[in-house]
A and B are shown apart, each in its own frame.
Chain A
């Protein structure tokens, strides 16, 4: 049972974090190719579109990965002050609302992909059908739901009761990623 749980957690981490990290590396590489191409007088017109598409994949996979580590920005001051009933409903509210949101984006994401297939939408410079990019919407929604389930298993206390201050290991960029697990 333990092995199964570890495998599930590792699988979610690999898919969400690994793919998002790879997309980030890909963006860096292609932007550098764009710079080199221009400075060498041989511009690569496909680079801008490739960067945009990788960026879309990176953002949506990255946000799904953020749910695994409970990093999404939220106001926790009021819940931290609450007692009794409101404290008990913190986890169901967080999980319920987030899962509902990703069910909606997953469902409407499928509609978006179907539209892109029906309209035969293609990229302007790359030989790519647009549905390969739109596919990130349902895919990231499914990963986000799996990530929420994983966080419920491994980081339930972070969802339920935010720690005072910011965990030391997460100080860097806390203002930009807004892991504001704070209380007055």
Chain B
């Protein structure tokens, strides 16, 4: 039996028994090493240690810290009010407000579940109040929350860039236009849906409200501007930009809005360290699996297979897209990225697929797993926030989920949406 296959079988068997994924991967790696190679199992610790001795990954806890401070700083209401003033007057207004709030909150938090837990709860109540069916309100909230996974400062994008060893700054900026494109797709869908069913007819546009709510929300909304502008202009590395953003959001929450007492800061740091350790645990143990895959030449075998079933970069990426759609249903995005990027990226490059385009598509496709059972944490979060049965949330989400899938499919077909902006900005050759 192939060593990679053996490793995967042991890993999946242990995972199904409820063993922590990182532990399952580490133990499967050790068992494979002992049975198939002459290498000592000390390799586990060595690969774990060296994989974490990386400056690139330092951005991860800092981005988590930015999101944690903003989430506890209770900026969701300010963002929602501003979004409502901006687009609430359109036909199907509250549906558009839902999308725009999520776009703005994405630029602040970087976490989809944080979106649902904070701004999502307000969105659902407001949409219901304006006559939208609860299922539709929850479905839209659930699917628009995935924008946090791609719009900077997405933590998933930082992790994907670190695994693939590409410029994290460029990759973060590369996610912006695809994120906005998906948001636009949601708005188009919401427009036709709302007009068809007569939900939330147009109301007058009030410029004064836009200005007042805009001024109230402008300070938190500057966070993504600091991040993206700092990185794109070359003033900061992504890690440095995240650290500067942490200071900015701390000043906002502690001194300006006074929503976080100073005494709460140590607890936020501890929580960030624990979340980072938990996320990066799988990064550490997946290194041994990646070493075994490379030792056996699995990426080359996948390249041959991909070459056989595809005729060019786009069809190759479509095959990968379908594969990731299936994987995303069963495995969460972060472990899937750590296991699959080392296996899929080299074959994708040999097919002529651009690495930035590949990574953006991969992150977005795996993000679909956040909204589908059985491992969709966003799905369960939405059900909890809305106090609905999971089955009802799924039913309400089918149409927005189809829109999301179609939008990602279009992103696969049109690499220019990802690569055009970063080339225009001179960030990418």
Interface of A toward B, CB cutoff 8 Å: 17-18, 20-25, 27-28, 31-32, 34-35, 48, 51-53, 55-56, 58-66, 69, 71-79, 86, 89-90, 93-94, 97-98, 100-101, 104-105, 108-109, 111-112, 133-134, 137, 164-166, 168, 171-180, 182, 184
Contact = CB atoms under 8 A, between A and B. Distances in A.
19 contacts: A25-B266, A28-B65, A32-B243, A34-B240, A35-B236, A51-B55, A52-B53, A52-B58, A59-B277, A66-B277, A72-B22, A79-B18, A108-B41, A111-B45, A166-B113, A168-B384, A173-B67, A176-B279, A179-B377
Nearest to A98: B23
Nearest to B63: A176
B328 interface: no
A154 to B, nearest CB: 15
Given A93-B17, A112-B42, A137-B48, 4 more contacts: A72-B278, A108-B44, A173-B275, A175-B113
A69 B274 CA distance: 9
A111 B377 contact: no
Contacts of B62: 27-28, 31
Contact of A178 (B118, B243, B273, B377): B377
Given A32-B244, A52-B55, A59-B284, A74 B21 contact: yes
A69 B277 CA distance: 12
B190 interface: no
Range for the number of chain B residues in contact with chain A = 35 or more
A118 B336 CA distance: 38
Task: Label chain B's interface by main secondary structure.
Answer: helix
Interface stretch (B219-227, B367-375, B407-415): B367-375
A175 B111 contact: yes
B54 interface: yes
B278 A63 contact: yes
A54 to B, nearest CB: 9
B20 A98 contact: yes
Interface of B: 14-24, 26-27, 30, 41-42, 44-46, 48-49, 52-55, 57-58, 61-62, 64-65, 67-68, 71-72, 110-114, 116-118, 149, 155-156, 236, 239-240, 243-244, 246-247, 266-267, 269-270, 272-282, 284, 330-335, 370, 373-378, 380-381, 383-385, 390
A101 to B, nearest CB: 5
Give the 8 A-B CB pairs with smallest separation, nearest first.
A62-B277, A21-B270, A20-B273, A63-B277, A171-B117, A72-B20, A108-B45, A31-B243
Nearest to B22: A72
A104 B236 CA distance: 40
Nearest to B59: A31
B18 A78 contact: yes
A35 B243 contact: yes
B27 A184 contact: no
A73 to B, nearest CB: 5
Contacts of A24: 61, 65, 269-270, 272-273, 276
B374 A28 contact: no
Most chain-B Cβ atoms within 10 A of its Cβ — which of A18, A27, A133, A177? A177
B113 A112 contact: no
A48 B116 contact: no
A105 B26 CA distance: 10
Most chain-A Cβ atoms within 10 A of its Cβ — which of B17, B23, B277, B383? B277
B59 to A, nearest CB: 9
A11 to B, nearest CB: 15
B58 A55 contact: yes
A28 B276 contact: no
Contacts of B52: 55-56, 59-60
Contacts of A60: 52, 277
A133 B377 CA distance: 35
B110 to A, nearest CB: 8
Most chain-B Cβ atoms within 10 A of its Cβ — which of A31, A65, A72, A90? A31
A121 B55 CA distance: 19
Nearest to A100: B27
Contacts of A58: 61, 273, 276-277
Contacts of A172: 67-68, 71-72, 111, 113-114, 117-118
